[in-house]
Structure 1
Amino acid sequence: MSERNIVTADSGRGGGGGVTAIYKSERGASKVRQRYAELLEAWPIPAERRRVPTREGETFVLVSGPEDAPPLLLLHGSGGNASNWRGDIASWATHFRTYSVDIIGEPGASAPSRPPLDSDRVALWLDDVMEGLGLSDISVVAMSLGGWVALDYAIRRPGRITRLALLCPGGVGAQMMGWLPKALFLRLFGRRGVRRTAAIVTGLDIQLAEEVLDDVVLTFAEFKPRTERLPIFSDDALRGLTMPMLVIVGSRDVMLDSAVTAERVRRCVPHATVHVLPEAGHAILGQTDTVSKFLLEEQPTR
């Protein structure tokens, strides 16, 4: 895939106008984009790059899988992009036409726009993405911030998401800040300390997930993440979710209260399948087969 196709858009509402709205500098943005280019060139299966015009600016979508297969939308987390799915995509694209969306305002190849989360503008943006891709109803796999986006859309657009798999989703359990003082202290130790901070935040082992952590360090050295707290969905809003639903959280998540997430989903969405991984943190990896099984299983009669 050609690198020339992944220049980040500089237009869009709500983000201040240019890449420096979400990056610390143009030079830093260039470094992150270059790494993204490398990851896209190494995409494990054939893919098509699309740019979808939306009211918030251009949205970049990486499309894989058979054209006649059922559609599957993938939404990454904060500080991520479509490359977050590179370990899963070969499996999922066997059965689905996958659409890996770069969420606006994140370090991918979409517009830097950041519509307020306490409004309907994120859902309206996703309406535009769906229309631009020619999709009417979809299955969705989403993580963290992407999980919040998926839940917000499912609540506001009943019936459009037919099956929903969420990895450490935002908006259910509260965000936690207890890790922050330790992270600030570790930054005093330079790159080694920053890498250790990344391991704490993600819950990943420094030796076993070296490449992933290196990418996290590179991104957050140059990227300015959203600072507002994710709105928490009410019990009544969650009770309105009727589609088959899978939720996977890590019991060692330091970013989101996974125990509350699991409890609220079980109570408000009793038909949902909930897995709590005892050794996992915020980054939920190695769940490709579990998610595949959920996506492919026949919908139970209720």
Structure 2
Amino acid sequence: MPSTTEFAATSDGVAFYRAYDRVLDKWPVAVESTDLESEYGITRVNTCGHPDSPSLILLPGAGATSTVWFANAGALAARYRVHAVDLMGDAGRSRAVGTPVRTVDDLLSWFDSVIRGLGLDTYALAGHSYSAMIALAHTLRRPERVSTLALLDPNSCFTGMRAHYLARATPLLLRPTEDRQRGLLRWETRGRAVDGDWLDLLARGSAHFPSAKVVVPKRPRPSELAALQTDTTVILAGGSRVHDSRRLADSINGTYPRISVITVNEASHHTLPMSPRREVDAALGVALTGLADG
């Protein structure tokens, strides 16, 4: 498997980065792209919004890249200085050219380096899917830094994933191909519309981007969640096949003092955060500011 630098020079790499740029071009606001150096490599951050606005960090689902926030960037940039991050070791423009991320401590240390590189003291934080696990683990470790937290259809933060979802996803994990990635999305979304350019980016990244070990934070203990100091909103996809959203909502509501739940009924796990845009924008508005977006 080539390094990220070598991958960029291959025909698959050229096609992947062209697809990345096509999706980034969908952002309805001006975007500044920055490369932050750390011992783990170079992290790409795509930033928009007024420099004097409160800071918001966005973390994408695995393979989705930071570009996935194109549908929400306009509404979020109206209130925040938005920093969308490409995960280290995952598909995107971050380059794992330093110390490998092998442990949860490495993963959280890498994210700390991003915070330092951005020069932030406090910030709102939102993460989708796998990145919800990173965002929650970071918040539990650095509660004084995170002003508000939004977890979009989180994997394994409160409960495990459904066995039938894992059975569908396992062939893709074992031998990723573009067709397998597209097939999983088609099944999980139940045929809901997904942006074609983003799906092309996801499929190309899954099949061709240099793979790295996926480091998975442990599910927090109930006592840790009960002691959470940060106002947190779990935004569930009502049509998610990753878990039973209604059962998960029932298990959270009234159990943890600082955690509330919003369910976006028309969303599936893999259509978040892109669609349905208005409903997701409104949920993020409530989660991050306590205000509904119009």
Instruction: Tell me what 2:120 maps to.
Output: 135
Question: Is 1:199 matched with 2:192?
Answer: no
TM-score after normalising by structure 2: 0.81
Instruction: Tell me what 1:219 maps to.
Output: 205
Instruction: Tell me what 1:236 maps to.
Output: 223
Comparing 43-52 and 176-185, the one that deviates more: 176-185
- Going from structure 1 to structure 2, the CA distance change for 1:46 and 1:270 (only over 3 Å counts) comes to same
- For structure 1, list consecutive stretches of 5 or more residues without a partner in the other structure: 1-15
Please, which of 247, 250, 269 is the counterpart of residue 234 of structure 2? 247
Distance in 1 separating the partners of 2:57 and 2:229: 18
Query: What's the C-alpha RMSD, in Å, of the aligned pairs?
Result: 3.1
Helix, strand or coil for the counterpart of 1:58? strand
- Going from structure 1 to structure 2, the CA distance change for 1:176 and 1:55 (only over 3 Å counts) comes to farther
Distance in 2 separating the partners of 1:89 and 1:277: 18
- For structure 2, list consecutive stretches of 5 or more residues without a partner in the other structure: none
Please, which of 136, 143, 150 is the counterpart of residue 151 of structure 1? 136
Instruction: Tell me what 2:37 maps to.
Output: 53
Aligned residue type for 2:116: E
- Going from structure 1 to structure 2, the CA distance change for 1:115 and 1:267 (only over 3 Å counts) comes to farther
Question: Is 1:43 matched with 2:24?
Answer: no
Distance in 2 separating the partners of 1:272 and 1:260: 15
Shift of 1:141: 1.5
Count of residue correspondences? 275
Conservation of the 8 A alpha-carbon contact between 2:40 and 2:110: yes
Distance in 1 separating the partners of 2:64 and 2:48: 19
Distance in 1 separating the partners of 2:101 and 2:195: 32
Aligned residue type for 1:130: I
Distance in 1 separating the partners of 2:251 and 2:122: 26
Deviations 1:126-156 (A, max 9, x none): 1111111110111011101111111010011
Question: Is 1:296 matched with 2:252?
Answer: no
Deviations 1:63-111 (A, max 9, x none): 1111111101111110011111000001110111111111111111112
Q: In the TM superposition, what are the counterparts of 1:1-302 in structure 2 within 5 Å?
A: 18-19=3-4, 26-112=10-96, 115-117=101-103, 119-172=104-157, 173-179=159-165, 181=167, 195-201=182-188, 203=189, 205-207=191-193, 209-223=195-209, 224=211, 231-256=218-243, 258-259=245-246, 261-266=248-253, 268-283=255-270, 284=272, 285-286=275-276, 287-297=280-290
Helix, strand or coil for the counterpart of 2:234? strand
- Going from structure 1 to structure 2, the CA distance change for 1:151 and 1:17 (only over 3 Å counts) comes to farther
- Going from structure 1 to structure 2, the CA distance change for 1:55 and 1:293 (only over 3 Å counts) comes to same
- Going from structure 1 to structure 2, the CA distance change for 1:123 and 1:17 (only over 3 Å counts) comes to farther
Shift of 1:123: 1.6
Shift of 1:256: 4.3
Distance in 2 separating the partners of 1:26 and 1:293: 43
Identical amino acids, percent of aligned pairs:
24
Shift of 1:39: 2.1
Aligned residue type for 2:239: R
Shift of 1:195: 3.0
Helix, strand or coil for the counterpart of 1:245? strand
- Going from structure 1 to structure 2, the CA distance change for 1:206 and 1:169 (only over 3 Å counts) comes to closer
Helix, strand or coil for the counterpart of 1:105? coil
